[in-house]
Amino acid sequence: MSSLIKKTYFLALAFSVATLNIFCQNNPEDLQDMHIKIAEGFIELHPDTVAYKTEAKSYKWNYEQGLMLDAFYQLYKLTGDEKYFNYLKKNIDYYVEEDGSIKTYKMKDFNIDNISPGRVLLHLYAETKNEKYKKAADTLMKQLENHPRTNEGGFWHKKIYPYQMWLDGLYMAQPFYTRYAAMFNEPEIFDDAAKQFLLIEKYLKDEKTGLYYHGYDESKEQKWADPETGRSPNYWGRAIGWFIMALVDVLDYFPEDHPEREEIINILKNLSSSLLDYRDEETKLWYQIVDAGSREGNYIEASSSSMYTYAFAKGVNKGYLDKKYLNIARESFDSIIKHLVTYNDEGNIFLNNVASVGGLGGKPYRDGSFEYYISEPKRTNDFKGYGPFLLSAIEIYRAKSFK
């Protein structure tokens, strides 16, 4: 990382008190191209790679890249600007060799997270017809073909988390899985993909709140799992965010006449309605633990708020949701800028209050409690927040909702 980029980054961290929110207050017309401002600011801070790299860890194939690069692909399709396509291609080409092998990827891990960047491989293959991207995508498909499953056919989240389905996993695998099915005419995949959503609906939805618990342990052996239901104890905002993004994204590929397509749309509609019941009245955003409100330690969280905003806007654009959700999305997007965005002296955008991580089990053991989720550090410009923030800006611009 160059000294200039380091300086820019640390200026932003020090500048934690919001500066003038010029885009949403003084110059509302500038909101029309916020998707460009968000993307350009990101590229300035990450000119060479979207991969996280610390002194202790090297670059590796990672789901956060998949999220971020899919956002840049959507921006490319919206604007036609080759710069964004070249940016995502450069990032993927760092990992994908000419023979289709993927640096740092290990199929034997059977980690569902590692499927996420595969959708970008398919984007690249669709645009270039370069066989190396198809070969790499085939490798990820081979993982799914052999991936461990629950007794009812649900993908395990990871080999190290046996018999567990997490909400996160639906976003990690299903958009790739269904895009592959659509591109290469494998209709049986849609049946399997639909099953994944229906299993989540069966085991993780709470009928009273309409919200979804983070994880399900079929074996009911984990300490975090309810001994009767196998569910984890809390509604983690970003887990629900991964799930709702998966819903709107797989519908891009599901055939219009598939028997479960309408059920997936109904799941999206019902979840969207339930989320409105837990939206903070003051900020119009959502908390880290969705139903816990202003309980001490809980906080308005950027990634989940951005994910819901994206899903609402896209859901309207695609005709799945009532048009009222577009106004809700715009209101929440404006509020993200007002409450969670700061700027440095160069005008770069910094998205604050992104939960760094959230999981179940593992080492050290994560028990799924309220105290656990709020104990994880918050980050600025974490890709898990910045990617959905960019996606939400793209969808709101697409709707031409700025007047």
The verdict on residue 13 lying in a domain is: no
d(CA 212, CA 402): 32
Q: What's the Cα-to-Cα distance from 198 to each of 142, 153, 225, 265, rounded to whole Å?
A: 23, 11, 20, 12
The verdict on residue 78 lying in a domain is: yes
Output the pLDDT for position 346: 85
128-151 pLDDT per residue, tens: 999 999 999 999 999 999 999 999
Q: What angle do CA 393, 396, 399 make, to 5 degrees?
A: 150
Give the count of beta carbons closer than 10 Å to the beta carbon of residue 1: 12
Is the preceding peptide bond at 162 cis, omega within 30 degrees of 0? no
Asked whether residue 165 carries a pLDDT value surpassing 70, the answer given is yes
Q: What percent of the chain has pLDDT over 90?
A: 86
**Residue 225 region by backbone torsions, left for phi larger than 0, else alpha for psi between -120 and 50, else beta:** beta
195-234 pLDDT per residue, tens: 999 999 999 999 999 999 999 999 999 999 999 999 999 9
Residue type, 273: S
Asked whether residue 273 carries a pLDDT value surpassing 90, the answer given is yes
Q: What's the Cα-to-Cα distance from 303 to each of 63, 144, 227, 300, 310, rounded to whole Å?
A: 15, 27, 31, 10, 10
User: Which residues, 6 or more positions from 168, have their beta carbon under 8 angstroms from its beta carbon?
Assistant: 113, 157, 238, 239, 242, 243
- Is residue 168 annotated as part of the catalytic site, yes or no? yes
Output the pLDDT for position 55: 46
Stronger pLDDT, 392 or 52, i.e. the higher one: 392
The verdict on residue 10 lying in a domain is: no
Asked whether residue 1 carries a pLDDT value surpassing 50, the answer given is no
Output the pLDDT for position 51: 66
The verdict on residue 1 lying in a domain is: no
Give the least confident one: 9-18, 55-64, 309-318, 320-329.
9-18
- Domain region containing 71: 33-47+55-401
Give the number of domains in the chain: 1
**Mean model confidence pLDDT for the chain:** 92
Stronger pLDDT, 16 or 195, i.e. the higher one: 195
Output the pLDDT for position 367: 99
Query: Exactly one of 70, 81, 138, 168 is catalytic; which is it?
Result: 168
Output the pLDDT for position 9: 40
Q: What angle do CA 283, 285, 289 make, to 5 degrees?
A: 120
The verdict on residue 4 lying in a domain is: no
Q: What is the mean pLDDT of residues 271-289?
A: 99
Q: What is the mean pLDDT of residues 1-23?
A: 41
The verdict on residue 7 lying in a domain is: no
The verdict on residue 79 lying in a domain is: yes
Q: Which of 42, 184, 113 is nearest to 359 (CA)?
A: 113
CATH (domain of 78): 1.50.10.10
